[in-house]
Structures are given as structure tokens and as C-alpha cells.
């Protein structure tokens, strides 16, 4: 037969209260018997604990700040290769004016230059500066383009030209693929004996373009060297519109070979499209 374990009898309530009072009384007696020096030391530590805590925290914070070295930050988000200037030309137009041309290549496959500043510096045979002209342009990733100034006053006579690039702003944004076409290309000589180039620029987009630049680069008879250059601007080219252009030089080029005609727009210009304007993120 199963037998229940015996449970000890708990003390009565009065007995609990008595033992509690007895414990507190013994604790008080021991506290009174303790060394006064020890009690004083405990009291001092209790008083100094709070300011000592704050003092140590301040010292630790100061040492951390002194030892901290901020990480180096790059001024540019990207590390693109430098633009390459593969060619510069000084082209006589008449007795007082010249054209200057530079061919620039962007070797970066994914990074474009939203804006860049350029400067042509013209010098005489002694290397003295006789003229200077500057402007702004852009270049897309993997693009090769001509930057030119068709008419620059150069008195006294300029013998060489230096081309400089500066203030380049880069972006990884891929521009929209806009299509322009040049129709009915034609070059020849006017009745006055001046060389000309003409054609029609057709906007193949369903929206208008605020500014279209047309360039003409004329090569020699063997199509190796540039002998003349010119450019013009068409504004507010409407959707699917074909616009006539004509560029005339002050002289003729009887030994001209091919004439390279191009139409382009600044794809990074927020005001390019007539109907809307959106900011280009960096």
C-alpha cells in the first residue's frame, strides 16, 4: 500500500515574526560593533562614486575623440579615365580669322561627362599668346567628337593652337537614344565662289528638341587631314520635322574631299525636350 510522505509542520506565524525581529536586532548590533574607519571609508566612496563616474566617462570620451581618424573620402564618386585629345588643328579662314578644331575621345565605357570646360589658346611663331576662346561642351561614354570654333579673330597671325580641358562633371546615367538624320546632303561652290555645305536635319522623335547642333568637317582630297570646319545651330525642332540648314565659308576649297556632316543634341541638358525638363542625377 502506497504511503504518503510526512510533511514537516511549519512554524506558527508568531514564531516567524519573532525570528525576523531577532535577525534585524543581530544585524543592528553587528553594524554598531563595526569599525568607524570602515564606515567612514564606505561613506566617502558612496559620496565620490557619482562624480568619479562622470569624470571617467568624460576622460574616456576625450581619449576616443583624440584617437579617432576619419576615413578618407574621394572627392568624386567615380574614378574615370582622362579624356583623350587626339588631334588639334589651326585652319586659316581669311587674313584675319582662323578656325580651331580639337578631336576628343572618352575612353570610359559607362561614364559620361555631363559638362566640360574647354579653351583654345592661339600663339604666334614666338609662342606668345595672341587669342583665347573658351566654352562648354559634353561627351557621352565611348564617344569621339569634334569641338570647334569656326571663326576666331587672330591678329597678329596665329601659328599654333593649344587645347585645354577642365571642370569635368561625370555621371553614370545612360542617356536616351535620340535619333537624328541628315537628308539631301550637298556641298559645292556658290556663285560668289564660296564653299558651302547644306542638307535637311530630320527629328525622328515624337517630341520637339530645343537645340540641335550641326557640324561640318571638311577633309582634303585624300581624306586624311582636316582643311575646314564650320557649325550652326537649329532651335525648336518640332516632332518629325525636317529643317533645312546651310553653312557658307568665306573662301572656296577646290581640293576638298569628303565633308563629314553630323547633327547632335546635348543628351544631358535638362531643357533639351520642349515639352518637359527633368534634372540629370549625378
> Beta partners for 231?
215
Residue with cell 539631301: 184
Global pTM value: 0.68
Q: The cell 525570528 sits on which residue?
A: 19
Dump pLDDT digits (tens) for 99-141: 999 999 999 999 999 999 999 999 999 989 999 999 999 999 9
Give the helix ranges, DSSP H, for 174-228: none
Q: How far apart are CA 236 and CA 272, in angstroms?
A: 9
43-54: average pLDDT: 66
Asked if 153 contacts 109 with a C-beta cutoff of 8 angstroms, the reply is no
Helix (H) or strand (E) holding 64: helix 36-67
pLDDT at 280 over 50: no
Give the span between the Cα atoms of 266 and 233, in whole angstroms.
12
- Look at strands 97-105 and 144-153 and give their pairing: antiparallel
The model's pLDDT over 180-227, given as tens digits with 9 standing for 90+, comes to: 999 999 999 999 999 999 999 999 999 999 999 999 999 999 999 999
State the maximum Cα–Cα separation within the chain, in Å, rounded to a whole number. Answer: 138
| Average pLDDT score over residue span 4-23 | 62
Beta-bridge partner residues of 226 = 219
CB 114 within 8 A of CB 139: no
Calculate Rg over the CA atoms of the chain: 42
Nearest to 102 by CA among 112, 94, 114, 116: 116
CA dist list (Å): 169 to 50, 98, 113, 164: 56, 30, 5, 15
What are the backbone angles phi and psi of residue 164, rounded to the nearest 5°?
Answer: -130, 145
Residue 240 is classified by DSSP as T
Cα–Cα distance between 14 and 148 in angstroms, integer?
A: 111
Identify the residue whose cell numbers are 575623440. Answer: 65
Q: What percent of the chain clears pLDDT 70, i.e. is strictly above it?
A: 72
CA distance 150 to 214: 12
Amino acid at each position: 500500500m502506497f504511503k504518503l510522505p510526512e510533511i514537516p509542520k511549519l512554524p506558527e506565524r508568531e514564531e516567524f515574526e519573532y525570528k525576523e525581529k531577532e535577525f534585524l536586532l543581530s544585524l543592528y548590533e553587528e553594524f554598531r560593533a563595526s569599525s568607524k574607519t570602515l564606515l567612514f571609508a564606505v561613506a566617502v566612496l558612496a559620496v565620490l562614486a557619482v562624480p568619479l563616474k562622470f569624470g571617467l566617462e568624460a576622460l574616456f570620451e576625450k581619449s576616443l575623440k583624440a584617437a579617432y581618424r576619419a576615413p578618407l573620402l574621394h572627392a568624386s564618386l567615380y574614378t574615370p579615365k582622362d579624356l583623350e585629345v587626339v588631334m588639334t588643328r589651326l585652319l586659316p579662314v581669311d587674313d584675319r580669322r582662323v578656325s580651331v578644331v580639337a578631336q576628343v575621345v572618352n575612353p570610359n565605357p559607362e561614364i559620361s561627362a555631363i559638362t566640360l570646360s574647354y579653351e583654345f589658346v592661339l600663339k604666334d611663331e614666338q609662342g606668345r599668346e595672341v587669342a583665347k576662346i573658351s566654352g562648354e561642351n559634353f561627351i557621352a561614354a565611348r564617344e569621339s567628337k569634334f569641338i570647334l570654333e569656326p571663326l576666331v579673330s587672330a591678329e597678329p597671325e596665329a601659328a599654333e593652337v593649344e587645347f585645354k580641358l577642365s571642370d569635368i562633371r561625370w555621371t553614370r546615367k545612360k542617356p536616351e537614344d535620340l535619333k537624328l538624320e541628315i537628308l539631301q546632303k550637298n556641298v559645292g561652290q556658290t556663285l560668289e565662289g564660296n564653299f558651302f555645305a547644306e542638307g535637311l536635319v530630320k527629328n525622328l522623335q515624337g517630341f520637339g528638341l530645343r537645340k540641335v547642333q550641326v557640324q561640318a568637317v571638311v577633309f582634303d582630297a585624300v581624306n586624311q587631314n582636316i582643311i575646314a570646319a564650320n557649325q550652326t545651330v537649329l532651335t525648336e525642332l518640332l516632332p518629325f520635322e525636317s529643317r533645312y540648314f546651310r553653312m557658307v565659308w568665306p573662301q572656296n576649297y577646290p581640293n576638298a574631299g569628303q565633308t563629314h556632316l553630323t547633327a547632335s543634341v546635348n543628351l544631358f541638358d535638362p531643357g533639351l525636350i520642349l515639352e518637359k525638363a527633368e534634372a540629370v542625377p549625378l
